[in-house]
Structure formats: structure tokens, C-alpha cells
Structure 1
Amino acid sequence: MLAGVAAVALLLTAGCSSSSADSHAASIPAGLAVEGYGTASAATLKALARDTAAIDTVGISGVSLTAEGGGVAASSEEALAILKKAHADGKKAELLMNNIDQAKGDFSAEIATKMLSSEANREFVISGLAGEVEHGGYDGVQLDLEYLSAANSDDLVSFVSELRAALPAKATISMALMASTSPDAYAAAGYDLPSLTADVDRFVLLAYDEHGSGFSEAGPVGGLPWMKEAVAALTSLVPAKKVDLGVAGCGYTWKTSGSGGVVTPAQARSKAGTRASWVAAQGEWTAKLADGTVLWWSDGRSLTTRANYAKSIGLHGVALWQISTGDRITRAS
């Protein structure tokens, strides 16, 4: 879902995911759906308790494809605890399946290809996901397969169609999409969106990682002009009412020497102090520290800005990655 997956995991285990003051809370307009993502962790459970009144669906980042692409691990006790809390609060819960290489801590095109290109592997994976829905109690599955290519396109369509046939009729299938700014670029990224639309209930546009430490120069995490281009390209291919706008609840640092990293909005504010500046054209904050370190981050105000935009153009909703690092989410009165 976000570059630097391992860094985000370390951020959580280090205890840096505390909620921030209400003055930084996001305000979501009525009638717009909200999905809050979280890893299978105590930090997510705590954030869910904080944000539950504003959330409709909890996306639990729970299972990865095996290294050979022939299966998925079972949900952890932590994931099931979040599922239980979501249902107790009257919320839906989706199980996220990803193609993260656990040895490297990042998404793997090779692992995804091993699964998608093999009918037997697809069958094993689908069996595992169907079992999680039928016996674990998840309301649906979200496919977060990243760094695909056009060569994966037909197999991805087959996989989704086969998954739809295996799941109960009431179970949903959603799909996370890496952002592209042209229709052709979505096809090049392995997403045959016109063919996928029949079996996918909702597409989540991951409108972040326009810039990030370790893979680009300093810049907005997912600035408004770039985000709007990606939305326009996507909604030329699928109905707007099937699209959720993915928003980051974190930021990046770029140091003058050495490596940067991932920061929560609260950490960014603490580091930046009075140097923090809201860039309205990008809908994000930035700062340059005394030592030359540059920060860009997406916070509650950023989410509010994007939620209002999503509502104005008729999107289904917004999706925050992730609630344990982001600011509090509220509903507009």
C-alpha cells in the first residue's frame, strides 16, 4: 500500500502511532464512505476504537502470498481481533491480500506472477481466501497486487473472475490500484479495468507515493494536481461510484546525507515546529529543518481536502492508509 512497508511496520512497533490532538482531525462529509486501513496490530485496534464512529469499513492488511505464489497464510490472532472489534461496532471488515515478499519487506512482481500465471496456484489461493470469508467471517477481500505489468493482465482478470465464483454472493471484492495519470498507463500496469469492472465492487486508487524518500527527490506524498490526473484517468475507465480515493496518513523525510524515512503526521509536526507550511496547491504540509532535512506529510487536513473533492465528483469514498499513523477521523456535522 505504501513504499517502505518495512519502515511503516517499524514505525508502529516503535510506539510512534499515538493519536494526535482533535485540532488536526479529518472531517469527512456526509454520504461519503470511509475505509480505514490497518496492519494486524494492537496499534490498529487502538486507532479503530478512536475512529470507529467515522469509519464504514476496516481494511485489515492481513495476509500475503507465499513466496512460490501457491497459497496465503492464515489470518493472525491480531487480525481476527480487529475483525471482531469491527463487527462489534457494526462495521464491515475486508481482508487485504498482498504480494509482499516477506524476506525483502516490499511488493514483489515475481511472486504475483507465480500466482497469477498458474491455474493451480490461483485455485489454492482462492480456496484460502474463500475459507477466510466463509469461516473467518470477513465481509470481503481486497486485492493489493502491486508492481504488475501488462503481461499479468489476462491472468488477473481470470483470477478475479474465479474468486468471484468461489466467494459467497454477499462477499465483496475490491482492488487497490497503483496510481497512473493516463488510461494507457493503467493498462501497462496490468489493470484491464473495463474487464475487471464486472467482478470488482470497488477500486481503491492509491493516490500517494508520488514522491518518497529512497525513490525520488523531495516532493508531495500525493499532491492534488497529480492526484486529480490519476482520478480523471481512472474514472474514464470505471464508474466514479466504484472508486475510493486512497489517502496517506503519513509523510516522508529527505536528509541532506544518509537515508530518510517515514513519519507520522504527529512526528512531522514535532520535528517541523514553526517551520511547518501548508501548501494549498498540493493539499499537504512541508518543512525544511535547520540541518537541511526536508519533510512532506499528509495529515487530517489533507484527508479533509481530498474527501471534499471525492464527494464533489461523485466518488464512492475515501480510504486512509493507515489509521494507526494518521490523524483522527471525524464526520462533518
Structure 2
Amino acid sequence: MRKSTVILLICLLTILSGCSWLPGLFPGRKEQLPALPDDHQDSANALPEREVVIYYCGDEGAIPGSKHILRQHHDKLSFVTGFWYQIDRSDPTRLIPMWNSPEEEIKDTVRMAHDHGVKVEALFHNLLYGSSAISEQVVTHLLTDRRLSEQLAHNLVELAKRMEFDGINIDIEFVPPSMRHQFTAFVGTISRALRRENIRVSLSVPAKTGDDPWNGWSGGYDYAALGALVDRLMLMTYDEHGWASETDGPIASAGWVERVVQHAVREVPADKLILGIPAYGFRWTSGQKNPVYLDYVTAMGPVWRGEAVLRWDNEAQVPMYRYGGADGALHRVWFENASSSSWKLDIMQRYGLRGFALWRAGMEDPDFWRLVGQKMKAERDRNHK
């Protein structure tokens, strides 16, 4: 073969090996991802203190639960937010334990956390009824009668005392924009009742880059008014592309997260804000309407098996890949790893937010906790019981 032909072939292969649009050409090859900070720290005392929160869940089939994260990384945690209670759709003053968890099982988690100096708040929500329409019906029912709010507030105080919760997290979603003021009043009723008893109140809110009171997803949430009523406002800075997205894309691109934070700090003091960090991903498949929810290990499976090439999206600052399935379908996977989380934690630090909350613990890249230890210390209450 002539020398010029060999050189031409080498150049062609070099060009093709760098093409991000040829996902299966070099299976098993990984692009160079951004490096994490090294393990060396000049002084542990130089690390900033931040509130480190995990959303704590039980096992859900193939989706791992959170108990092992509390056991292994309690020294890096400030708060556990237990995804434990669903509003009863037939009686919105009543709370139903998730996964039919017995009280003693929840109490065991509370004791484990407290033994390690980690505080616990219980989350209640209006989700997982089978459709978003039912979720909206539940919140509409709750907001139309002030007596229901007052009774629920009373029940929450009793629950927190009985279970020794340090706080309550309100995760009410699908609030109709037309009920924006009623929702603010509802949060005020709940918050006043709990805070009178020295029970912390946090509120999880949809992410938004500006305040459009008639936006169908986020219009019902007045950041400024709500932030004044609670101890912490927890920004759900994820699902930029997610369950409802027919097109694939990043779960939380760095630019979008920063725009959400920029809006939030204009409305609420930064030391009340908690940044949501996603630990998961989605797989979109051609011919299917909705994506599949993935933890980190499942998301990395095709890469580890040599079926796909891991890419890094330099605009979104997240990992992703595409590959063809055995059935001929095209799979597109976007997810989060420690490198993408590093960008988000830097945004949290840069804007002086109080801390972050990981949704959901157990789904994350194991390297995430090494990253947290390199960037911050968990804020702890020295007067913790």
C-alpha cells in the first residue's frame, strides 16, 4: 500500500473516532470527562459549612433505597428528608405512610440519624396516585376549605411530636396558577402551627427562571411570599427534561440551574435556599412516548458493557450517550454523575446558598460523596438533642 494511502486512512480514522455523532462506532471507548478535585485539602477547617440534605426513600423495585447512604455517609449529612407520607385523596387531613411502612420502621431511621447527629424531617406530598389530574384534585380540595388546612396542621404537629421529627417538608405539586394566593395561605397555616412548636418547616418548589403567575407548572408558587413563611425553600432544580418530555435532553443543565438560582436569590434570602441536585437520569427510546427512570449504575450499564460510548455535553455540563438497541430502536440517555454535580455545587457556593438536597439518595454516582467531602463540611446544630 502506498505511503500516502496509509496516511489518508490514519487521518480518516482519527477524525471518525472523535465524532460525537457516531455513538456505536467505537463501543466501550470513553471520552475524557472533567476531572474531580483531588483528595488533598490544605485544611479541613478551611472548608465552608453547608446544609447537606438527602431525600430519603425506600426501595422501589429496581430503584435502590437510601438507607445505606445514611449508614455510610452520615458524617457528611445535616438533614434527612424522609419521603414518607402521602395525603389521603379521600380525606386531605390524613396522611398515609408510603410503601405501607410501619411506624416502627420510620422510627428506627429517625433513631439511626439522631444517633449520628443528623436531623430528620418528614415529607408529605400529593403524588403517585396514578395521574397528575388526581394530584391536582387533591390540592384543589385541600386549598378550598381553610378548615382542612387547620386540621392538617394540627395533625402534622401531633405526628412530628410522636415520631420525634425535627421538621416537616411540604411537597405539594400541581398547584393550579389560579390558586396561587390560596397556596401561600395554606403554607402560612401549616408553618405557623409547626414553628410555634419549634418544628422546622421546609417547602419544595418547582424550578423557574422567572415569575410567570400563569405558568401551568410553576405559576402557583410565589417564591418571595413563600420564602418569608418557611425556614428553607428547596428548589427542585431538576427535570428540565424528564417524565413529561417527549424529546431527550439534560436533566439539569448548568446554565439552566444557574438561571433558576439567579431568579431565586432575587426573591428569597440566599441563606434560606437549598439547591436540588439530581442523582438520576432518563432513557428515551424511539417509538416510546415517555422516558425510563434510571439510577447511576443502570445508566452506566451500556457503557460498561461496551454497547455505547460515554459523551460529555460541554454546553449542559452533563454526561450522555446514544446507542442502537438489538431491536433497532435508538436509545438516548442523559444522566448525572459526580462531574456534573460538581458544576452544580459550584453554583450553590458561588451564590451563597445555604446548602443542597440530593434527589434521591441511593441513585447517585458513588463518587458524589467524595466530591462533597472535598468541597464542604456538613452544617450541624450543636444543640441537637
**What is the TM-score with the length of structure 1 in the denominator?**
0.85
1:32 is paired with a residue whose SS is strand
Structure 1 residue runs without a partner (length 5+): 1-22
The offset of 1:190, in angstroms, is: 1.2
Structure with bigger RCO (C-alpha 8 Å, 6+ apart): 1
Q: Structure 1 residues 193, 200: CA separation in 2 closer, same or farther (over 3 Å shift)?
A: same
Structure 2 residue runs without a partner (length 5+): 1-34, 40-46, 376-385
Which stretch has the larger CA shift, 266-275 or 219-228?
266-275
Q: Which residue of 2 aligns with 1:17?
A: none
Question: 1:68 touches 1:115 (CA, 8 Å); kept in 2?
Answer: no
Q: 2:299 corresponds to which letter in structure 1?
A: A
Distance in structure 1 (CA, Å) of the matches to 2:175 and 2:81? 21
Distance in structure 2 (CA, Å) of the matches to 1:314 and 1:186? 29
Question: 2:207 touches 2:260 (CA, 8 Å); kept in 1?
Answer: yes
Q: Which residue of 2 aligns with 1:111?
A: 138
1:80 is paired with a residue whose SS is helix
Q: How does 1:1-333 map to 2 (within 5 A)?
A: 30-41=48-59, 43-73=65-95, 75=97, 76-77=101-102, 78-104=105-131, 108-167=135-194, 168-184=196-212, 189-212=219-242, 214-258=244-288, 259-273=290-304, 275-291=309-325, 292-328=330-366, 329-330=369-370, 331-332=373-374
Distance in structure 2 (CA, Å) of the matches to 1:186 and 1:321? 27
Distance in structure 1 (CA, Å) of the matches to 2:283 and 2:360? 18
Aligned pairs, number: 310
Distance in structure 1 (CA, Å) of the matches to 2:259 and 2:134? 24
Instruction: State the superposition RMSD in angstroms.
Output: 2.6
What whole-Å deviation, never above 9, does each CA across 1:236-280 have from its counterpart, x for those lacking one?
Answer: 111111111101110000112235301111111122346111224
Q: 1:138 corresponds to which letter in structure 2?
A: F
Distance in structure 2 (CA, Å) of the matches to 1:250 and 1:166? 35
The offset of 1:111, in angstroms, is: 0.7
Q: Which residue of 1 aligns with 2:17?
A: none
Distance in structure 1 (CA, Å) of the matches to 2:315 and 2:94? 42
Distance in structure 2 (CA, Å) of the matches to 1:90 and 1:106? 40
Q: Structure 1 residues 86, 186: CA separation in 2 closer, same or farther (over 3 Å shift)?
A: farther
The offset of 1:74, in angstroms, is: 5.1
Which stretch has the larger CA shift, 188-197 or 276-285?
188-197
The offset of 1:157, in angstroms, is: 2.1
Q: 2:212 corresponds to which letter in structure 1?
A: D
1:324 is paired with a residue whose SS is coil
**What is the TM-score with the length of structure 2 in the denominator?**
0.74
Question: 2:170 touches 2:203 (CA, 8 Å); kept in 1?
Answer: yes
Distance in structure 2 (CA, Å) of the matches to 1:145 and 1:325? 23
Q: Structure 1 residues 324, 66: CA separation in 2 closer, same or farther (over 3 Å shift)?
A: same
Which stretch has the larger CA shift, 205-214 or 172-181?
205-214
What whole-Å deviation, never above 9, does each CA across 1:125-165 have from its counterpart, x for those lacking one?
Answer: 11221112111111111111112123222222222222233
2:242 is paired with a residue whose SS is coil
Distance in structure 2 (CA, Å) of the matches to 1:317 and 1:107? 32
> Quick check: which has more Rg, 1 or 2?
2
Distance in structure 2 (CA, Å) of the matches to 1:151 and 1:275? 46
Question: 2:142 touches 2:148 (CA, 8 Å); kept in 1?
Answer: yes
What whole-Å deviation, never above 9, does each CA across 1:168-222 have from its counterpart, x for those lacking one?
Answer: 4421111111111112359862122322223211111111111125523010001
The offset of 1:47, in angstroms, is: 2.0
Distance in structure 1 (CA, Å) of the matches to 2:130 and 2:339? 35
1:143 is paired with a residue whose SS is strand
Distance in structure 2 (CA, Å) of the matches to 1:180 and 1:302? 20
Q: 2:65 corresponds to which letter in structure 1?
A: A
Question: 2:177 touches 2:213 (CA, 8 Å); kept in 1?
Answer: no
Question: 2:86 touches 2:96 (CA, 8 Å); kept in 1?
Answer: no
Distance in structure 2 (CA, Å) of the matches to 1:223 and 1:127? 40
Question: 2:88 touches 2:96 (CA, 8 Å); kept in 1?
Answer: no
The offset of 1:232, in angstroms, is: 1.2
Question: 1:38 touches 1:323 (CA, 8 Å); kept in 2?
Answer: yes
Q: 1:332 corresponds to which letter in structure 2?
A: Q
